Each structure stands twice: as C-alpha cells, then as structure tokens.
Structure 1
Amino acid sequence: MEETRSFTDIKEISTETLAVLASLGFQQATPVQEATIPLFCGHKDVAVDACTGSGKTLAFVIPITEKLRRLEEPLKRHQVGAMIVSPTRELARQIYTVLQPFAASIPGITTMLLTGGSDPQADVAAFQEKGGHILVGTPGRLSDIFERSKVLDPKHLEVLVLDEADRLLDAGYGKHLESLMRKLPKQRRTGLFSATQTEAVQALARAGLRNQIRVNVAVEPVASSSGREPGQGQGQPAAGTAGSPGKRKAAMQDQRTPSGLQASYLVCQSDEKLAQLLHFLKEHREEKIIVYFLTCAAVDFYALAIPIAAAKGGLQTSALHGKMKQSQREATLAAFAAKPGGVLLCTDVAARGLDIPDVAWIVQFDPPQDPDVFVHRVGRTARMGRTGHALTLLLPHETAYVDFLRIRKVPLIEQQAWEGLPDPLPKIKQAAEQDRNIMEKGTRAFVSYVRGYREHQCNFIFRAQELDLGRLATAFALLKLPGMPELAHQRTLPSFTPSSVDTNTIKFKDKAREKERQKRLAARALTPKAPPAKAVRVVEPQKEKRLPAAKRRQIEARQDADDFAAEYRMLKKVKRGKMSEDDFFEEALGLHQDIEEDGNGAPADTKSHHFKGKLKEKGRGSAKGRGMGNKARLRR
C-alpha cells in the first residue's frame, strides 16, 4: 500500500500555511489533498470527484490561501480575490470556520460569510465598512450582494470554488450561479468539488473550466479511533493508475460510499418502524446517531413521539430541519457536535458536507427522494478513512431499492428485523388524545409524507399506490383520517382504527396556545354564515357540430405550427439571454415549478424531474413535440 505524503512534502505549500496546518494538528495529506493541491495551486482547473469525508475542504482552502499569498499587489478593501459557493448555510459556515486560521496567516486579508437568514442590507453595509477579500456563502445571498453592493469589485478574483457542485445545480440555483459567473473574470482558477459527479456537473465543467483536470479519489479504511484527533486516522490511498490526458485518477473505485462504511438494510411495515428504531437506539444509546426522515413535519412529530415512547429509556434527541429558524439550527447542530453521544433527527438539510465528529451510525428511517442523496447521508459517518455504520429501513414493496443501489455501486447487506418488540404506538396515540399539539403534528406528518412519497425520483420502486395508508396512519398515531385528495374515496381503511375521542374537544397542553385557539373558535362562531346560494337553473349549451376528420387535422396542424413558431421565438430569446431556460420550460409546457423554501433561502423540493416526463409525453407524435426535441438538441 502506498504511503500518504506529509504536507511538508508538497512543495506548493508555503511555510506559513504549514505552520497553520501544524497548529491544527494536520500532518499527513489525505489522497484527495495530495492529488488536488499541486494542481489547483498551479495553473489547472479541477473537477474533484471524491467520496464524502475524504478531506475536500482543505483541498481547496489551501490553494486559495497560496494564490492570495502570492499576489504581487495587495487587494484593496472592496476587491474580491476568492469566492466559495456552498448549497447550504450550515456547510458554508463550516467552510468559513476552516478557512479562518489560514486567511488570518495572510496580512491584510479579510473574509466574510454571506448566507440567508439575516438582513441583506446589513451584509451590504458590513462589506462597505470592512470589505471581504474571500467570500463564503450560499448562491442566493452571494448573488443578492453582488446586485445590491455598488462598491464590490470582482475583477481581481483569482479562485472560484463550487462545493457540492451537483447539489448547487440540482437544487434550482442555476439562475444565481449563472448571474454570479457572468460577473466574474474568465482568467481565474475554478474548482468543482463533489462526491457525485453528475452529468450536469460534467456539463458545467466543460462550460466553466479552462485547462481542466478531473481528480477521482477513493479512500481505504483504517482502524477506527475513539475521539477526534486531527491528522490521525486518515485514509490511505488505494493503488491507482494514470488516467487519460486531462484526467488523473488517484485511485480506482468500485463503490461510491466510503470503503470503511458497513451499510445494511432492514425490512418492516410502516407501523413497525418506530418499534425497530427505538430498539436500535436503546442498543446504541452511548453512541452518536443521525436519523433521517422524509419531511420536516415527520421530524417534528418523531421529536415528540420518541421521548414519549421511550420515557424511561434515557434517549437524548434533538431535531433539525430547513423550516427551523437559522439561530435554532446553528444552536442544535453545535450542541449535537459537542456531545459524545445522542440522537439527531433531521431531514436532508444535514445530508451534505457537514463534518460532525464521531458519528457512529446513520439511520435512514425514510429513504431520500433523490437516490444521489443516499450517498451524502451515509457519508456523515466513516469520514477521513475511519469506519462507520449505516442502517436503512425499507417497506416490503421497496426492496428493489437494494438492487438499484447495488447497480449504482452502493452495496447493502440485509439485517433481520427484531421480533417480539413492544408496540409504542398505543402510548403515543393516547398522548395525542390528551394533547392537541401531538395530534396536529401527527396529522401534518402523515399528509406531508404521503405527498412527499409521490415525489420520489425512483417512483418505479417507491410506488405511492402500494402504500398501506391504514398502517401509515397508525404509524403517525392519527385519531381520524384527514381530509386530503388521496383519501377522497376512502372513508375507512382496513388497517386503521380511528379513536373514539371527539378531536374537537382535545386541548393544547400549552395554555397560551389553547387560549389562542379558543379565541379563534369564538371569533369564528360570531362570524355570520353566508346564506345558501339560490339554485340556478342550468341551461345546457347546444352541442357543437362535429367537424370532418380532414378539417380537424388541418386545424390541429395549424395550431401545432403556431405553437412551434412561438416556442422558436422564445428559444431565440433564451440564446440572446433575454429569457431563462426555466421561464422557457414554463411557457412552452404550460407548467409552473412548485418550489418550497427549505429555510436556506433555497428551493427545497423542485419538481424539475417532472419536466422531462411531461416533455416526453407532450412530444409524442406531434409537430410541437418534434420541435421541442429539436430545441433540446440545439441546447446540447
């Protein structure tokens, strides 16, 4: 096995930066750092494809430091020398924290963190006063500051880094990235860093990188260490072969997850999942565990349900999702990272890039909507070459997901479900009958889960029609079925028993919330009801005379030609930059993206994957469809 190099052996790293590394306890470079730093410090753009937890942050922080340290003339206050773009606030803050000691080693260099959740005018004022030679932030806020600030000067930018590049593209940040990159000088070094190099990332690399090299790195595991000591327990590079021109492989990968990860799955019904989870958490109560759920509402519900079900189990749980206030998210994440053990219940807002020390287990209570996110979730453990474990809970009809992941080089081992476990759901249902807060959170979680399940990208595996809604309603401790379209034709479900308690009489245990509810009920009672509408006689219109087939075809052909001409005019606007591609799709297909903010100021659930299906369906056998296909080829 080839030995890793010491940072002192990498000649591109200055003595000042080596001193910072030594003060932080870093001695040996990880494979991704060893392969990337010499290239990125030189005159190469890089597209780095390395499994999560392999040390990518230092692989771009060190080159940024060296580039700015070697400037012939110092940057003025409002000149930007480097910019790091991250998809989430938490990851941006983590990168900013890593960057600080390295930037401080360069005289006169200032840094600034720009993320959502605060007043953008305050950020503009702070930049006006102090400047920011290195900007770290999310695409929306960075783009906003570039538009608002009249003094920000990006013409001297040396380095642009897009971290988690696939997420930046998938999450609907395209407009912001396009706006930012138009304002940046072309003579710069650019780095794309991600654990999953998608087609979109490769397209971006072809369009935005000059003299590029792709770095593909795998990490072999070393013995697990207790506690986190920087510079220890780092992975060793596997044997590698040279790639083709413009591409360097530090190692060959036969799987996309860290090789130190032991991933397994367990099959059970939806109303058995909580019992399985509770048993697992009690078995591993001394370890640090992250549990992922499908929706924010599910996190809120289980954050209440787990302590109720395990009243004497001593489980310490905390919740984190995109709809929480930024201050809450930061405090929760910091507290969980500082503890030696505990359970974090979260959504995919905590799936990417975050380096939380000593996470022993990742439990996926619900598989993610996007299969690429699976890799990022399990990457919160087995980091930097250490070992870790992951467990995924699947419903019986979802077992094909295992084969699907295996094809995508993510192997899972089956684990048998525990039998004879006590059922915690009656206890939670009883609590819901006494506290309206639990009842309402369960209902919201059920509704959001059903709707989120329908948005799975792997809908050939996660088939909504095969969901046992009765068992699912039981799993969320529902007292009665909610009114929702999915249940419009199902007043009762065989596997669900409604509560005999009148839900209108259930009060909030929180006296302030109950008082507010009573006020709303009183105000509603005083509001006069609208009189019933008078019956209106409906006069059925006369049926139109059916046109001959030849005439109908002639009209349809004329309409198709008009539609094609209109779409072609819009396409020319896109090419001239007067219309975005998103607006083009909405106008051409008559669709509107349903985007929900995830709390980052970023779209959480974009329905863009539906566009392809709609486009394909609309294109069958029509001139309009053929025209759309021609335009897609023109874009490529």
Structure 2
Amino acid sequence: MSSFSSLGLDERILKSVAELGWSTLTDVQSQAIPLALDGKDVLVRAKTGSGKTAAYGIPLIQRVLSARESSTSSVVRALVLVPSKELCQQTSRMLKSLSSGCSKVVRIVELSTHTSVAVQRPIILEKPDIVVGTPSRVVAHLQAKNLVIRDSLEMLVIDEADLVFSFGYEDDLTVIIEYLPKIYQAFLMSATLSKDTNKLGRLVLHNPVTLDVDERQAENDDSQLTQYHIRCEADDKFLLIYALLKLKLVRGKSLIFVNLIDRCYRLKLFLEQFSIAACVLNSELPVNSRMHIVDEFNRGIYDYIIASDERLDKQQQAATRTKKTKKQRCDTHFVSNCSTNRRCMWLLCVASRKDKEYGIARGIDFQGVENVINFDFPPTVDAYVHRVGRTARGKECGTALSLVCPGEEEGRLREAVKRLSKGEVTADSVKPYQFKMSEIDGFRYRVMDGLRRVTQTAVREARLKEIRTEIINSEKLKAHFQDNPRDLQVLRHDRNLHPLPVDEHLKHVPSYLVPAPLKASFKSDMPNGKRKFLMRGFRANQTKGSRRKSDPLRSFKFSKQERQGKRAKLE
C-alpha cells in the first residue's frame, strides 16, 4: 500500500491528510496502520521522523468515528501516554491536525502539567474521545476520579516506550494498568528496543505483532544522514565551535547538545563574546518557554539552539547524585544572597528545580534541522541515536558532528561505532572529519581571551537571570503575580546582572587569520565602510607631516634672539 486512499479510511480523515500535504505512506505507516485497523496489538521500532505518530493516530481516529456511528454516548475511548510535556503538546497538535475534518465529532484533550488537576477537571468530566498525557498526570486524574476508563477504553498507546521507565514512570504505569479494562488494543512505539521496552510490552500487550522498520530503511538512511567526529582536547572544543560557526563551515539550523546545564550557559556566554546568538533549552525553563523556543526555532527565528540533554543512565545518575546535591546547595545559597524578599527567593528556587518530565533529545518535532553538533558526546549509544535523529527526518538530509575528547568520550565513540557497524541501529558509520587544527591556530588567542571571561560566577548569574526572565514571561505564575504585584516588582528589581564585556575586534574575523583553503570563498563579516574608515585613519597617521605636527617635541622651534633675550632677563 502506497497511498492513504488504499487503506479504506473515512473520507474526513483523507481530507485532513490531504490538508497536511501527505501523498504517500511511509514504511512504518504502510505496515502498522493495516494491522491496527484489524485490531491487533503492535510493537513498532522505527527511527525518529518516520511517521510513527500518524501510524497510531489514524487508527485511533478511525475507530472513534466507527464507534460514533453506532453509539452517540460520550466516553473516553483512547488513551495516549507520552514521557514528556513537550511531546504531550506535540502529539496533541498532530492528532488534532489529523482530525481537523471531523473536529466536531472527535474531541481530543491534552493533560498538560502546567495547569492544575482542579482546572482540568471540568474538561475531563465532559468525557473526550482521546486523552493525551504523561503517566503521572493521568494517574492524578484517575485517583481523583476525574478520568474513568475501566468500562470504555478501547485503545492504549505508549509513545517513546523505551523512555517511559527511564523517566521514572514505572510506578505510575503499574497504577494505570489497574484501571484498564480486561480487553483493549495496545500500541507501543519506540525508536529503540531495550529491556525496559520488552518489560513494558509484557505488561500491556497481548500477542503483539513486532515491526522493526529500521531494517528496511537502512539502505536509504546512508544517503540521508552523514555522521562525522573530530578528536580534540576539552579546551579545543571551544576553538572548534568558534571556527565552525564564524567561518561558516556549518550552515543552516543547528542543534548543539551538551550534557549539563552549566555547560549550556558556558557555551552560550562564550559564543556571545563573538556576536553569535543562540537560544538555551534545558529542564530549568518553564514548559511554556521551552515549547515557545521550539516553535520559534521551527519558524526560522533562531538558527542555533544549545540544548542540555540531561537524561543519564542509572549508574551515572547514582555516581553524580552527591555532586549535584552539593551544587544545588551552592545555587540556593547564591540566590538567598542576591534576593531581598523571601517569597521572591522561594519562586527562584522552585523554578530552578529540574523538570523530571523534560526530554528534548527524544520525540520533539524540530523542523528543518540541518546539523546536529554533539559538543559533549552523549553518555550512551541510544542517546547518540536519539540526538542525531533530530536531523535527516523523513526524506530530508542532515549532518551530525561529534567533538570527542581522548579517554572516556573516545571509548563511548568506539562503542557507538561498534554497534552501528553491526546494523543494530539505522545509521551510517561515524567518519573522521577532515579538519587540520593547525589551520585555525591563529584563532586560539581570541578563543582563550573570550573563554577567560566566562567564569563560574558569570555562568551562575546568567543561569539565574534566565530563570528570572522566564518566570516573568511564563503563564504558569501569571495568576500569582496578579494577586501579589509586589513580588513581581521585587523580582524585576533583583540584583542587576551586567553583561560580559565584548571587545569590538572579537566580533569580526580578520582576513589574515582565515585559513588558506577558505580565503577564496570566505567573505569577511566586517562592514566595508568600517574597514575603509579604519584603513584611512591608519594611513593618515603614517604620513610624515602629520606625525611631525602631532609631536610637540619635533615641531618646537626657538630662535637665537629669543635665547639671548631669555638669558638677559635671567641675569
């Protein structure tokens, strides 16, 4: 099956698909949708951007429309569980787009966690057809008896299934299973298959059909995704990222991944020294701010996003728990010293807590990403697959570049190449990028000059400034500030954060520092008028007459008669 019309779908669904501009089925859709329409449980492994959301979304809507023809009662017929708030909103938007032709018949509700359970209660009591939410929020509504699914639920979907357990939802899923009916159809969608996925499948699936679509797409992926790596020292990463961006070796919309929030702001402040604008995306920002950044990036407002991918494996979480706890105490102490209002300090401390449902490397629909740069190499191979999956989505091409330090990161790179070469993950092997460090040594003094100014204090101040700004902009605390306007005034008049000094000469790349192979194609970003003005002033100062006139010791003259007159007066 190559077209949606061959699936026997409702005309209203076909109309919605046509409005989205989809003409042909992807591999995962052509295999999964017929099985889902036949009522079978399905476990799907397919790469990011292959159309998994539509693969289960279309059968959901088709089944709701069929049930509506035989019964007019309003009940919850489908439940979609996703691991993060961002993916919750994205999935809801996609389902609403697929049901735009029947929006008056099919009602979809998103249980976003930035609103309280009490606020969502009236919406849930209206019994929508499809509910989308994170497991923790669904459990809250089930226990509050707002959501009733035991007698009405027909379909259950768990998207990004391999990530559900790692986000700490194991207990929540156990509670949800107790509320499920005895008979229902289930879907598990994932980019990778793991032990957690198999464990989850045993809990919710009944004689499932397993689809591993990645094996069929391996040959096509070779031409779409190109992967490189550069071996370098830790400090040379900043030199490389400067050269790649300022010399325009990396062009187009790019995602730059780091492993920690502090690294996120350190890299942002470093790039600001050279007038390179970038957005920061991490778990400390409110969910509304995170989604707004993604939307603006998709619209082409920003070219670079520095994202902190903080989801580590369980061993690394246990190893870094003590260090993180100590750092959180330091941040709290710093906030308490800067703030003059206890309530204001409390707001800052609450906002600085990491969102456990944050996940930016998985599932989020970044559109038009041409490059993914791993400034810090990911801790696991699966994390690497999900990061590079942000580019080369669908039929588009993309490039992934990883900066690798000798030692631990190099070991993880070898592990990734070993797995990729076995065909366990759909991607090409990671090739070495042909780049000579000697050609950019001329920029080293500039980079070190800018890096010295990005101190730990500057990073902490930038981090708190970002939190304060986003609290003001977020709708989450709008009601609190309306009831307590003095809190908003104190928050805005907190300690002023002075920006780091930016030298004028660091904004531009002088032509004499450009590597020889790039001089023919590279154009200096210094304005022509400014360059001519500087050269004219330089030449004027080099003329002999102007130098003599400007030097009082050379232009001073004293005649013989004046000397005799001065001597007579002294006598």
TM-score range normalised by the length of the shorter chain: 0.5 to 0.7
SS in 2 for 1:187: coil
Say if 1:261 and 1:388, in contact at 8 Å, map to a contact too.
Answer: yes
CA pair 412-430 structure 1, distance change in 2 beyond 3 A: closer
CA pair 389-286 structure 1, distance change in 2 beyond 3 A: closer
- 1:199-241 deviations in Å (ceiling 9; x for gaps): 22123223321231001113xxxxxxxxxxxxxxxxxxxxxxx
CA pair 359-429 structure 1, distance change in 2 beyond 3 A: closer
Q: Does 1:20 align with 2:41?
A: no
- 1:252-277 deviations in Å (ceiling 9; x for gaps): 7589x776211111111111101101
Q: Distance in 2 between matches of 1:65 and 1:362?
A: 34
| 1:6 partner letter | S
| 1:347 partner letter | S
Q: Does 1:512 align with 2:494?
A: yes
User: How many residues were matched structurally?
Assistant: 407
Q: Does 1:369 align with 2:379?
A: yes
Specify which structure has the higher proportion of helix: 2
Q: CA deviation at 1:323?
A: 1.1
| 1:317 partner letter | A
| 1:323 partner letter | E
Aligned to 1:156: 152
Q: CA deviation at 1:198?
A: 0.8
CA pair 513-59 structure 1, distance change in 2 beyond 3 A: same
| Structure 1 gaps, min length 5 | 219-248, 444-509, 516-636
Aligned to 1:472: none
Aligned to 1:407: 418
CA pair 305-172 structure 1, distance change in 2 beyond 3 A: same
Q: How is 1:192-207 mapped onto 2 (pairs within 5 angstroms)?
A: 192-207=188-203
Question: Which of these residues, 51, 60, 65, is aligned with residue 69 of structure 1?
Answer: 65
TM-score (norm 1): 0.60
Question: Which of these residues, 70, 88, 95, is aligned with residue 91 of structure 2?
Answer: 95
Say if 1:366 and 1:393, in contact at 8 Å, map to a contact too.
Answer: yes
Say if 2:229 and 2:430, in contact at 8 Å, map to a contact too.
Answer: yes
Q: Distance in 2 between matches of 1:82 and 1:75?
A: 16
Question: Which of these residues, 427, 446, 469, is aligned with residue 449 of structure 2?
Answer: 427
CA pair 10-108 structure 1, distance change in 2 beyond 3 A: closer
| 2:285 partner letter | M
CA pair 268-65 structure 1, distance change in 2 beyond 3 A: same
| 2:307 partner letter | C
| 1:402 partner letter | L
Q: Distance in 2 between matches of 1:514 and 1:354?
A: 34
Q: Does 1:437 align with 2:458?
A: yes
SS in 2 for 1:113: strand
| 1:339 partner letter | G
Q: How is 1:107-146 mapped onto 2 (pairs within 5 angstroms)?
A: 107-128=104-125, 130-146=126-142
Say if 2:45 and 2:192, in contact at 8 Å, map to a contact too.
Answer: yes
Q: Distance in 2 between matches of 1:113 and 1:40?
A: 23
Q: CA deviation at 1:514?
A: 5.0
CA pair 429-280 structure 1, distance change in 2 beyond 3 A: closer
Aligned to 1:184: 180
| 1:90 partner letter | E
Say if 2:65 and 2:105, in contact at 8 Å, map to a contact too.
Answer: no
Indicate the structure (1 or 2) with the bigger Cα radius of gyration: 2
- 1:480-524 deviations in Å (ceiling 9; x for gaps): xxxxxxxxxxxxxxxxxxxxxxxxxxxxxx983159xxxxxxxxx
Q: CA deviation at 1:304?
A: 2.0
CA pair 36-432 structure 1, distance change in 2 beyond 3 A: closer
**Which range moved further: 87-96 or 418-427?**
418-427
Q: Does 1:294 align with 2:294?
A: no
Q: Distance in 2 between matches of 1:88 and 1:150?
A: 21
Q: How is 1:383-394 mapped onto 2 (pairs within 5 angstroms)?
A: 383-394=393-404
| 1:289 partner letter | S
- 1:240-299 deviations in Å (ceiling 9; x for gaps): xxxxxxxxx7x27589x7762111111111111011012112315640000001012221
Q: CA deviation at 1:144?
A: 1.1
SS in 1 for 2:370: strand
Q: Does 1:212 align with 2:208?
A: yes
Q: Does 1:270 align with 2:234?
A: yes
Say if 1:45 and 1:190, in contact at 8 Å, map to a contact too.
Answer: yes
Say if 2:28 and 2:52, in contact at 8 Å, map to a contact too.
Answer: yes
Aligned to 1:547: none
Q: Distance in 2 between matches of 1:413 and 1:432?
A: 32
Q: Distance in 1 between matches of 2:458 and 2:171?
A: 39
| 1:393 partner letter | L
Structure 1 stretches of 4+ moved >6 Å: none
Aligned to 1:347: 308
Q: Does 1:332 align with 2:328?
A: no
Say if 1:267 and 1:416, in contact at 8 Å, map to a contact too.
Answer: no
Q: CA deviation at 1:300?
A: 2.3
Aligned to 1:260: 224
CA pair 418-289 structure 1, distance change in 2 beyond 3 A: farther
Q: Distance in 2 between matches of 1:383 and 1:151?
A: 36
CA pair 73-153 structure 1, distance change in 2 beyond 3 A: farther
- 1:450-488 deviations in Å (ceiling 9; x for gaps): xxxxxxxxxxxxxxxxxxxxxxxxxxxxxxxxxxxxxxx
Aligned to 2:283: 322
